[in-house]
Amino acid sequence: MKSNSLGEFEELVLLMVAALHDEAYGVAILQNLEEKVGKKVNISAIHVALKRLETKSFVKSRYGGITTSRGGRRKKFYVITATGKAALDAQYSLRTSIYQQIPNISFGR
Amino acid sequence: MNRQSPPKYLIQFLRWVCRKEVIEEVEGDLVELYILRARHSSSIARLRLFIDTVKSLRWSNLKKPKLKIYNSIMVSNYLKTGFRNIIRDINFSIINMLGLSLGLAVFILMIIMVNQEYNFDSFHTKADRIFEVVQEFDHAGEPELAAHSSILLSDALKAEIAMVENAVTAHGAASTWMTAKGERFFEEDGIVAGPEFFEIFDFDLKYGDREQVLLNSHSIIIDEQLALKMFAVENPVGELIEIERYGLFTVTGVMEKLPANSYMQFNFILSQDYEVFFEHVASWFPRWFQSWRGNPATTFVLLRDPEAAPQFHQQIEPLLRRNLGEDREINKHTLVNLLDLHFNSGHIGGNVNRFVKGDTTQVKMFVAVAVLVLIMACFNYINITTARSVKRTKEVGIRKSIGAQRRQISGQFLLESALQMLFALIISIGWIYFLVPYFNTITNFNISISLPIVLEVLPIVMLTIVLVSIIAGLYPAIYLSKFSADRILKNSMASGKGGSTMRNALVLTQYTLVIIIVATLIIVNQQYHYLRTKKLGFDSEQLLIVEVNGGGVRNNFQTIKSELLANPDISAVAGFTTVVSSYRDGTSLLAESFEISDTFFPIEFYGMDEDGLKTIDLELLPNASNLDKGLDSTSVYLNETAAALYGGASVVGERITIQEDEDSDFEFKAQVIGIVKDFHYSSLHEPIGPLVLGYLANPFEDIDDIVIRVTGPDLMSAVSFVEHVHNKFDENDVMTWEFLDDMTQRAYNSELIFRDVFVGASMVSLFIALLGITGLTAYNMITKTKEMGIRKVLGARYMQLLKLQGRSFLISLVMATLVASPIIWWLGIYWLENFSYRISLTLLPFTGAFLVVLFGTTITVWLVNHRSVKRNPVDALRYQ
C-alpha cells in the first residue's frame, strides 16, 4: 500500500488545486505556483504530482472543452476531493499544534 | 495575434512515446505553454518545449510494450508447438540443425582461437611493463633486428638505469642428454635464465619457492610433464638429474605446463652455470659469450613506467659506450612490449628456445571464413523456415483469429528459432570436439579447450546465439506473422510464394560464397602443386641431409664420408656449409663489381666439397674458356644471374672479390671456374639472385650439413646406417636428419596451412549449402506432389521431372558463377602476387568450382526427388 502522506511539492500543488477551485489545470497551476513561490517550476513535475495526488484520490479530474490555444487538446481540470481537503486540514493542524509548542524565543541581536 | 504552432516533430515524438491516457494533458499543457512563451521569443519557447518534452519522458507517461508475450502459459504453449514442429518435420529439423550447429561450431572455434591469439602473454600480471630488448644490427647497409644482447646487460641495467625496475637474461640451452634415475632422455626445449626470471614472469610453479629456484648454481626447473616422464612422481623437488657434460643438477622446482598462449615456449630452465657449460668449449667462445661484445642472449626488462620505453636507448647509451670502449660502433637498442611480441615480432630475429609468432593475416582469414560459414548457416535456416511456413499458415491464421497480435506471432517464431539455436549449440559441442584436432593439425594455432577458456568465451558465445537467433529468426518471424487471418483461413493453403524472391536471393548468395571458396581452394592448390613440383634445377629426390652438431663429426668429416661411401646404397656424399634448400638461407656476402672498385652487390654463398655439384646434380654450362679445374679453396662457380652481373660467360677464368661487409679488411679473391645453370636455391617466393658456390674450406663458413644421395630402395635402412656411422663420432647428440624434398616443402608451410584451411572451409560451406538445397528441394517436392503426378499421367519422363525440380537451382548457380567470377579473379591475382614464380590464372578454378557445385546440387536434387518421381502417380494424385 502506498502511504497517503504528502510531499512538500505535492502539498503545494494540492493547495493550489484547492485555491484555483474548478479552474485548476496544468498551465494555470504552473503559472500561479511560479508567481507565489517565486521560482521556476517544470510542467512535467506538476503532471507527476497531479498524477500521484489522483492515485491517492486527493483530487479528481475531468476534461474541459476543446480549445484552439492548446492545439486541439482538451484541458484536464482538477478538483480537490473531501479526502484531499481532510489531508490538507490534518497537515495544517499538525503544523499549527507543533508550532504552538514553540516557546516564546526571540532572536534579537 | 500571430499564432505560432510548435515544432511538429516534437509533438509527434510525444504522441509516439506517450500513453494515450496522458497525451491529452501533457501535449495540451506543453502546447499552451509554448504559445504563451512564444509571444516573447519563439526560440526560447522552442528550447523550453524541447526541455519539457525530454522531462516528460517519465516512466509513468511512456507506452509499455504489451507484456502479454511474456505470459507464462503462452510461452509454454509456444515451446510446446516449437517442440512439436521440430519433431513433426524431423527431417527438416535435422537439416536445419546440422547446418546451424556446424556453422556455430566453426564460429565458436574461431572465437576461442581469436581469444587465445589476442591474449598472448596476458597472464603475466606485469605484462604491460615487461619488454624485450631488441638490437639493431647492420647487415650490408640494411638494418637487421634481433632479440640479441649481451648477457652482462641485465645486471648493468638493474644497477645503473633508473627506469628499469628489474631485468633478466635468458637464452636457449643446448639440446642434451639427461639421466634421471638411471634412464636417459634427450631434451631439446630448455632455456638458461637468471634468478630474476620468476620475479618478472608469472609462469606458475607447482612446487618450489619462486625466489629460490634459480638462485643456486646447478639448479634445474622442469615442467610437470617432464617431471612425470623422468621421475614418475608429481613432485621430484630435491632429486638429481645428470646432464651430459655439465654434471649433476638439482631439481629445485616444477613448473606447470606452459600455457599455449605464451610467446616463450620451453620445458626446463637451467641456472646460469657458464663454468660448466663452457668446460669443453674453445676458449674464445666463452670469452665472447660472457663479454659486452658478444650478443648471445635475450634480455627482458621490467620498467617502472611503460611510457618511458622510447627513451631506453638514449638512457643506456653512456653505459654501452663505457663498456664497449670508444672505438666500437654502438647498435641501437629498443624495447618491444611483451604483449606486442606475438603478432609484431615477425621481423625480429633471434629467440630463447622457441617463440610463438602469430600471423594477423591468418587470424583475419580464419575469422572471415567462420563468419561466412555462420552466415550461410543462417541463410539455410531462413530458407527452410520460410519454405516450410506453408505448413504453419493455418496455425498463424487460427492464432490471429483468436486474438493474437502480430507482435506475439513474431515473438513466437523468434522463440522457436532460439529454441532450435539452443539444440544446435548442444550439437555443435560434438562438432567442436571432432574439429579441434583437425584444426590444430592444419593450422599452427594449437588451441586447447579447458574450463577456464570455455568460461571466458561463454558470454560471447551466448551473445552470438542470441544474435544468430535474431538474424536467422527475424525474417521468418516477420514473414510468417504478415499473413492476414481471413486470407489464410479462406484458401486453406496460402502459398509460400511471397518468400520465394528472398529465398532465391539467399540461395544465390550461398552459391556465390561456395563458388568463391571452392575456386580459391583450386587456385591455392594449383599454386601449391606448382611450388612442390616445379623443377628446381637440381635433383632434390632421395637426398638425405644430416646436420653437423658436434666437433666430432665436423673434424672427422673425411673419415665419415669414406665410411658412408662404402655402403652400396649410398652413391654420393658431400659436405656443405648449408645445404641448398628453399627452407634455409645460405651466407649473405658482398661481391665487388668489376667496373667500379668499392661498389658491391649482395651475393648468396654456399660452400661445398669437390663432390658437391655431382651429389646434388647441378648442371654446368658448357665451358667456353676450356678451363679444366676442380673446385678448391681458390676457385668458385657462379650462377647465370651472378655471371650476367660480371658481363656473362667471359667471367670464367677471371678473379672476383668477395667479402663479408663493406668495411671488412678481409677480401676473398677467387677464380671463377665455371657457370652453373640458374637453379632455385631459395623459396619460389623469391626470384633467383646472384649466387656463388665456393669450396667447403672457405673463410666464411664451416661445414654444417652432410648431403648424402641414397640410391637403394630401402631409405630407412640407409638412414639407420648413416646414424650408426654418425653416432661413432658424436655420442652426445641425437642425429638430426631430413630428406631434402621434405625440407624444401617446409618453405611452403604457410601455403599448406592456407590450402588446408580452404579445404576445410570448402567442405563445410559446400555441405551447408547442399543442406539448404536439400531442404528447399524437399519442400518443392512436397508442394508440387500433385503437379508431378499430373505431369506423369500426361506422359512426362523421369529426367524431365528431375530437370523441372533442378531448374531454378541451375539458374541460381549460373548467376552465382557470374557474380563470383570477378571476385575470384581479384582474389587470385592478389594472392598470387606473393610469389615470384606462380601459375597464371586459367579457367579451371572457375569451371572447376562451377562443376563441383553443379555436381553436388545434381546429386542432392536427384537423391531427394528420386523416390517421388518414381512413385506411382496415383498416390500423388490422392495426396491432400
Do B379 and B470 fall into the same domain? Answer: yes
**Closest to B185 in 3D by CA, of B251, B264, B242, B253:** B242
Report percent pLDDT > 90 for chain B. Answer: 15
3-state SS class at B142? strand
Which residues of chain A are within 8 Å of residue B21 when distances are taken between CB atoms? Answer: none
B817, B856, B107, B845: which is closest to B521 by C-alpha?
B845
What is the grid cell recorded at B619? 648442371
Residue B572 is assigned to a structural domain of this protein: yes
Q: Which residues of A touch B60 (CB under 8 A)?
A: 48, 51
For B59, name the nearest residue in chain A, comparing CA atoms only: A48
Domain limits, chain A: 8-98
Chain A window 3-22: which residues touch B at a Cβ cutoff of 8 Å? none
E strand residue ranges, B13-150: 130-139, 142-146
Give the C-alpha separation, B45 to B37, whole Å: 5
For residue B686, the model assigns a pLDDT of 82
Instruction: Return the bridge partners of B179, or none.
Output: B184, B242
pLDDT at position A2 is 46
Within-domain flag for B67: no
CA–CA–CA angle B349, B531, B435 (5° rounding)? 75
Q: Which of B337, B355, B373 is the last residue of a domain?
A: B355
What is the β-pairing status of strands B264-265 and B247-255? unpaired
Describe chain B by its helix, strand, coil percentages, rounded to 5. 55, 15, 30
- Model confidence at B512, pLDDT cuts 50, 70, 90, reads very high
Res B237 pLDDT > 70: yes
- Tell me: do B723 and B787 sit in the same domain: no
Claim to verify: residue B328 and residue B389 sit in the same structural domain:
no
Of B336, B355, B374, the residue that ends a domain is B355
Q: Do B853 and B813 contact (CB within 8 A), yes or no?
A: yes
Q: How many domains does chain B have?
A: 4
Conformational region of residue B694, where left means phi above 0, alpha means psi within -120 to 50, and beta covers everything else: beta
User: B31 at the A interface (CB within 8 A)?
Assistant: yes
> Phi then psi for B223, rounded to 5 degrees?
-85, 170
| B17 contacts chain A (CB < 8 A) | no
Task: Answer whether A65 touches B (CB < 8 Å).
Answer: no
In this structure, is residue B83 part of a structural domain?
Answer: no
Q: What is the DSSP letter of B448?
A: -
Question: Could you say which of A43, A74, A75 has the minimum Cβ distance to residue B33?
Answer: A43
d(CA B500, CA B767): 22
E strand residue ranges, B27-182: 130-139, 142-146, 164-172, 176-180
Task: Say what the pLDDT of residue B491 is.
Answer: 62
Q: What share of chain A is helix, strand, coil (3-state, %, to 5)?
A: 55, 15, 30
Please tell me what DSSP assigns to residue B114: H
| Reported CATH class of domain A8-98 | mainly alpha
Q: Is B71 a member of any domain?
A: no
- pLDDT tens, position by position, B15-34: 888 888 888 888 888 888 88
Say which residue, B312 or A69, is predicted with more confidence: B312
Provide the pLDDT for residue B36.
85
pTM tops 0.80, yes or no: no
Residue B136 shares a structural domain with residue B235: yes
- Residues B666, B733, single domain; the answer is yes
- Please indicate, yes or no, whether residues B616 and B690 belong to a single structural domain of this protein: yes
Q: Is residue B82 part of a domain?
A: no
pLDDT at B157: 92
Q: Is residue B101 part of a domain?
A: no
Q: Do A43 and B52 touch (CB under 8 A)?
A: yes
For residue B495, what pLDDT is reported? 52
> Who wins on pLDDT, B522 or B734?
B522
* Closest listed residue to residue B352, CA positions, set B168, B582, B138, B120: B168
- The pLDDT-based confidence of B494 (bands split at 50, 70, 90) is very low
Is B22 part of the contact surface with chain A (CB cutoff 8 Å)?
yes
Q: Does B24 touch chain A (CB under 8 A)?
A: yes
Query: B11 contacts in A (CB within 8 Å)?
Result: 71
Cβ–Cβ contact A42 with B under 8 A: yes
- Put simply, whether B12 touches A (Cβ < 8 Å) is no
pLDDT digits (tens, 9 = 90+) for B526-557: 998 888 888 888 887 888 888 887 778 888 88
| pLDDT tens column, B162-204 | 899 999 999 988 888 899 888 888 888 899 999 999 999 999 9
Segment B383-415, tens digit of pLDDT? 888 777 767 777 888 888 888 888 888 888 888
A28 CB neighbours in chain B (<8 A) are none
* Candidates B22, B24, B36; nearest CB to A74: B24
Nearest residue in B to A47, CA atom: B26
Do the Cβ atoms of B26 and A51 come within 8 Å?
A: no
ipTM attached to this prediction: 0.84
CB contact under 8 A, A71 and B31: yes
| A26 and chain B in contact, CB less than 8 A | yes
User: Residue B407: is it exposed, middle or buried by C-beta count within 10 angstroms (0-12/13-18/19+)?
Assistant: middle
Question: How close B24 gets to chain A, by Cα (Å)?
Answer: 6
**Is B58 close to A43, i.e. CB distance below 8 A?**
no
Q: Which three cell numbers stand for residue B814?
A: 549460373
Q: What is the pLDDT of residues B631-670, one digit of tens each?
A: 888 888 899 898 888 888 888 888 888 887 766 667 888 8
Task: Report if residue B185 sits inside a domain.
Answer: yes
If asked whether residues B738 and B755 sit together in one domain, one would say no
Res B784: pLDDT: 76
Which residues on A lie below 8 Å from B33 (Cβ)?
A: 27, 30, 43
Cα dihedral B10, B16, B17, B18, rounded to 10, equals 90
In angstroms, the CA B824 to CA B467 distance is 30
Tens digits of per-residue pLDDT, B802-840? Answer: 888 788 888 889 999 999 999 999 989 988 888 888 888
Query: Which residue range is the domain that position B819 belongs to?
Result: 360-530+750-878
Cβ neighbours of B827 (radius 10 Å)? 16
Q: Is A73 on the interface with B (CB under 8 A)?
A: yes
Pick the closest to residue B572 from B583, B564, B581 (CA basis). B564
Q: What is the pLDDT averaged over residues B455-477?
A: 85
B551 in a structural domain: yes
Copy the grid coordinates of residue B639.
Answer: 650462377
Query: Is B27 close to A25, i.e. CB distance below 8 A?
Result: no
Contacts of A48 in chain B (CB under 8 A): 58, 60
Confidence at residue A1, expressed as pLDDT on a 0 to 100 scale: 37
Q: Check: CB of residue B15 under 8 Å from CB of residue B23.
A: yes
Q: Are residues B781 and B865 in the same domain?
A: yes
- What does the radius of gyration of chain B's CA atoms come to, in whole angstroms? 37
Q: Chain B: nearest CA to A45, how far in angstroms?
A: 8
Residue A44 touches partner B, C-beta closer than 8 Å: yes
Q: What is the pLDDT along chain A (109 residues), one digit of tens a residue?
A: 345 678 888 889 999 999 988 888 888 999 898 888 888 888 888 988 898 888 888 998 888 877 777 777 888 889 999 988 998 898 889 889 998 888 877 776 5
B56 contact residues in A (CB cutoff 8 A): 43-44, 47
Grid cell for residue B256: 606447470
Q: How far is Cα B572 from Cα B574, in angstroms, rounded to an integer?
A: 7
Chain B residues with beta carbon closer than 8 angstroms to that of A45: 55
CA distance B880 to B870: 19
Same domain, B210 and B340: yes
* B736 pLDDT higher than 50: yes
